[in-house]
Amino acid sequence: MPNRVRTAVFPVAGLGTRFLPATKAMPKEMLTVVDRPLIQYAVDEAREAGIEHFVFVTGRNKGVIEDHFDRQFELEQTLEARGRTEALAELQKDLPSAGQSSFTRQQEPLGLGHAVWCARELVGNQPFALLLPDMVFRARPGVLKQMMQTYEETGGNIIGVEEVDPKDVSSYGIVARGEGPDSGFRITGMVEKPRTEDAPSNLFISGRYILQPEIFALLSEQTRGAGGEIQLTDAMQILIRQQDFTGVKYHGKVFDCGSKLGFLAANVIFALDRPDLAEPFRRAISDAVLGVSDGM
């Protein structure tokens, strides 16, 4: 049995410039899909996969993320006084337990690889999950849980992948696929943000990883890659010479909420998935669309 994965890292230091002005004073991870912040989806997914320690790599102006995962006594008392017991129970369910969260800061925006490296002391010498909160999944069970099932058989490093339109490969990390089924195939190489003609496949790294701690030593070399940033993909491409990397083409679909289109699509699809909203939302949208096309 491989070492159990107990810790998850959430890089939440990004500036969110693609969502200005919404993200001028508010972290992009607090943008909501329907009524839950992006970061809450990632934490829920990690929890479902058995994670017990939640490590947030934050930056300046990210204090409300820490507040979001804390109790809010005034709010709790008010809900209680008003008899809103269901809302109160929902709020409490979302929280990691006392002592399960850790926060550290990425002091400079030097890239995803550097953000992960900033978590090294909190993670220590054990495997860990990495979840990029911009990426929100419609998947059951959750993507990290599906990857854990593979990890229990293979150990090593696991990367969740999904197909992307070949014209969009240059926005992502892309893997080269070796032998094995969708539930666990050998990854033979990977490249960060390739041009379409250089991409080894159309399988993109969609923001969920299980990694071995040896990655930290490679990240500490801090070589700059695509976009002048310290890239996680480049460190993994070196580690692959010494350790197994297994790809999981999971059941489900990602919404890239780091882009406006992905974010808007996620809001529509997640609202349509909600029993309390699906019907009235469908009606509101079709009325609105008809109204607009009628020039009203």
Contacting positions for ligand G1P (CB under 6 A): 112, 132, 134-135, 172-173, 192, 204-207, 231-233, 258
Instruction: Choose among 291, 292, 200: nearest CA to 247.
Output: 200
Cβ-proximal residue to ligand G1P, closest one: 173
- Give the nearest distance from C-beta 105 to ligand G1P in angstroms: 18
- Give the nearest distance from C-beta 254 to ligand G1P in angstroms: 8
If the CB atoms of residues 65 and 116 are measured against ligand G1P, the closer one turns out to be 116
- Give the nearest distance from C-beta 174 to ligand G1P in angstroms: 8
Instruction: Choose among 274, 2, 17, 253: nearest CA to 139.
Output: 253
If the CB atoms of residues 45 and 192 are measured against ligand G1P, the closer one turns out to be 192
- Give the nearest distance from C-beta 205 to ligand G1P in angstroms: 4
- Give the nearest distance from C-beta 9 to ligand G1P in angstroms: 13
If the CB atoms of residues 170 and 183 are measured against ligand G1P, the closer one turns out to be 170
- Give the nearest distance from C-beta 238 to ligand G1P in angstroms: 15
If the CB atoms of residues 89 and 261 are measured against ligand G1P, the closer one turns out to be 261
If the CB atoms of residues 135 and 271 are measured against ligand G1P, the closer one turns out to be 135
If the CB atoms of residues 93 and 195 are measured against ligand G1P, the closer one turns out to be 195
Instruction: Choose among 175, 196, 195: nearest CA to 187.
Output: 175
